[in-house]
Homo-oligomer: A and B are copies of this chain.
Amino acid sequence: MINQKMLELGSKRSIIREIFEYSKIRANEIGKENVFDFSLGNPSVCPPQEISDCIINLIKNENPTLLHGYTSAQGDQTVREAVANSVKSRFGCDVSANNVYMTCGAAASLSISLKALLNENEQVIVFAPFFTEYTVFIKNAGGEVVISNPKENTFQVDLVDFENKITEKTKAVIINSPNNPSGVVYTEEKIIKICEILNKKSAEYNHPIYLISDEPYRELVYSSVKVPYLINYYDNTLVCYSYSKALSLPGERIGYIIVSPKCVNSKEVYLAVCGAGRSLGYVCAPSLFQQVIARCVDTVVDVSTYKENRDLLLDNLTSFGFKCVKPDGAFYLFVKTPNNDAFEFYQMAKKHEILVVPCDDFGVKGYVRIAYCVDKSRIVNSLVSFKNLAKEYSLI
């Protein structure tokens, strides 16, 4: 009688959520320090001190009625100017405030963008492995999910598979780099080729295929690897950004959409974004944090902690015989399970009090995700258990 799809969506807990609940129960039983929970992508690095200082400064010095008041639906003008100027100076592309739409975080950015672009039964290509909620947002916009399989081992885009997956119904492609759950950053070479294919296919089918760049992990990279700014590579691009990871503010729900000024009918796409936001019930992005962003737009958390964690985990797990994808960004380690059975691995690890996420739902079979956005001590203390797990699999 009520909407059964919504009931199903609310009832079917994600595996991550299941593990999260188990973790709490287990911590009560044996002590939190004895549960090696690597399931959640919740930033462990403290938000920069500038954020706290900025909030206190705003509360003490600004008119509270204005500070907490409605902004225009697309965001406060000065905030959008600050974002546009930052993007312009960092990436050299000609973006203005009129291209920026402030949102309640990455999930909102994606939901709104998809709703703005898609018509019933149009297709969206996602590159496996991919964040499972993409499916939810694409379906909510009436679309159909098409999965493009990656190159085994590197988890870079398989260009042949990608090209084969494009049809007349393809409306958009989501790129998530650095990637959740693999930590892989797509190379500039791959990006250039993806864009070539998209241009060719857009011409062939005589309609634009949009590129949606979901990039909450943009600032979290651990080597000299470059994360190409897609607006500079492809005209019909929408950038979906969130400050959740870059500033460790995931609960505050603050991010943005940039509609590239080079999009075909860019103004109309922007207006459709405004319409989609309205339709989904987003009145404006939280006003206090809009002002925080305007003042801290180029601030980033200290990523050295994540890098240390990555190195510690990667080096040890590799030495134990596990096959890991080397992550250049984000805060996830993607590990191949010895028997190509992610659920079995998840359960065996659990016996050693290690909690990892089996990734079959992410579109790749036989892998688990280890979120290393945790205290270093948790990694250090878990190593004996990982070693025992390796022994159980006869890896050492």
Contact = CB atoms under 8 A, between A and B. Distances in A.
Interface in A160-215: 207-208
A315 interface: no
Contacts of A107: 281-283
Contacts of A71: 251
Contact of A272 (B3, B65, B251, B270): B3
A141 B279 CA distance: 9
Instruction: Indicate the member of A68, A139, A270 with the most B CB atoms within 10 Å.
Output: A68
Number of copies: 2
Interface in A95-111: 104-105, 107-108, 110-111
Contact of A42 (B10, B55, B69, B270): B69
A265 B266 CA distance: 46
Interface residues of A, number: 79
B52 A65 contact: no
Nearest to A277: B10
Interface string A247-290: 01111110000000000010011111111101111111111111
A333 interface: no
Interface in A105-128: 105, 107-108, 110-112, 115-119
B117 A3 contact: yes
A8 to B, nearest CB: 7
A280 B207 CA distance: 27
Interface of A: 1-3, 5-11, 40, 42-47, 51-52, 55-56, 59-60, 64-65, 67-71, 104-105, 107-108, 110-112, 115-119, 133, 136-137, 139-141, 207-208, 248-253, 265, 268-276, 278-290
Given A2-B116, A10-B272, A47-B65, 18 more contacts: A5-B275, A8-B275, A9-B276, A10-B273, A10-B275, A11-B275, A40-B70, A42-B70, A52-B60, A65-B248, A69-B250, A107-B283, A108-B283, A136-B279, A140-B281, A253-B253, A253-B283, A280-B281
